[in-house]
């Protein structure tokens, strides 16, 4: 059994996870649950897109055999509450720092879903690179028999990382958001041409800060296993970035 946990508003990135799960398993369970405990802002929770009718179509076409759509109260056994989790930098740095309590909610809901579904494999996209590290840590401790399968980040034809949040962007916002992937690729290209990776990242940060209507939150090199804040670029495996466009918070990353 393969398992793809989602919060709905399915797009081709989700479909790619389901298709891989279908290739590698006899049964594919896809869950749709907008988990309230991983939102640190109520407005973000309320505005999160909910498109169940279309989600059913996307999931079935991609190879889903069981669609699981519990309520938060179903999964939590009452009022949704998340325990505090401390895995060091992977839960406290970057997304953990910017979204207090976010990874508490992620760990809690994925743990509970694993206990209910009991899959052999679970599939997660690397757009949420830090989340994959958190889930791997949790699963190693609590569900060692479940294989965590990390899957490639999927982009649209213009390079924008696919995200359910993209539906909240205007056409002009989508164009602005494309600066993220363009600057990430430019970092890698400059490093290939011989520029120091720290200097390349600083150029990208300066470029993004100069884009009108674009709010850069962070851009940094990380090791995808530890997420420790380290200026020593020899241990970096990826560049991660978070930014806001039209009030929509977006994250992305690229492998060095």
| Active site amino acids | 14
The two tokens of residue 118 are: 């009991």
Three-state SS sequence of 233-249: HHHCCEEEEEEEECCEE
DSSP at 75: H
Closest listed residue to residue 208, CA positions, set 252, 156, 167: 252
Distance CA 99, CA 39 (A): 8
How far is Cα 103 from Cα 210, in angstroms, rounded to an integer? 31
Other beta carbons within 10 Å of 193: 8
| CA–CA dist 64, 67 (Å, integer) | 7
**Whose structure tokens read 């600066």?**
179
CA 60 to chain centre: 22
Backbone φ and ψ of 238, nearest 5°? -140, 160
CA distance 75 to 105: 12
């Amino acid at each position: 059994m393969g398992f793809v946990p989602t919060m709905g508003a399915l797009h081709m990135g989700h479909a790619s996870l389901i298709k891989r799960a279908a290739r590698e398993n006899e049964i594919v369970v896809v869950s749709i649950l907008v988990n309230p405990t991983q939102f640190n802002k109520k407005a973000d929770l309320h505005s999160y897109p909910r498109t169940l009718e279309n989600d059913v179509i996307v999931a079935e076409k991609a190879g889903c055999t069981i669609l699981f759509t519990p309520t938060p109260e179903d999964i939590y056994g009452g009022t949704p509450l998340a325990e505090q989790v401390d895995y060091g930098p992977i839960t406290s740095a970057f997304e953990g720092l910017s979204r207090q309590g976010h990874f508490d909610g992620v760990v809690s809901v994925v743990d509970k879903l694993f206990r209910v579904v009991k899959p052999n494999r679970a599939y997660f996209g690397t757009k949420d690179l830090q989340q994959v590290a958190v889930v791997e840590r949790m699963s190693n401790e609590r569900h060692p028999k479940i294989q965590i399968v990390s899957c490639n980040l999927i982009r649209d034809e213009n390079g924008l990382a696919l995200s359910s949040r993209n539906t909240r962007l205007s056409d002009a916002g989508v164009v602005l958001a494309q600066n993220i992937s363009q600057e990430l690729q430019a970092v890698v290209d400059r490093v290939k041409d011989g520029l120091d990776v720290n200097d390349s990242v600083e150029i990208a940060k300066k470029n993004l800060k100069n884009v009108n209507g674009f709010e850069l939150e962070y851009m940094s090199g990380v090791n995808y296993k530890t997420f420790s804040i380290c200026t020593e670029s020899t241990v970096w495996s990826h560049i991660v970035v978070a930014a806001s466009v039209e009030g929509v918070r977006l994250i992305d990353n690229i492998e060095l």
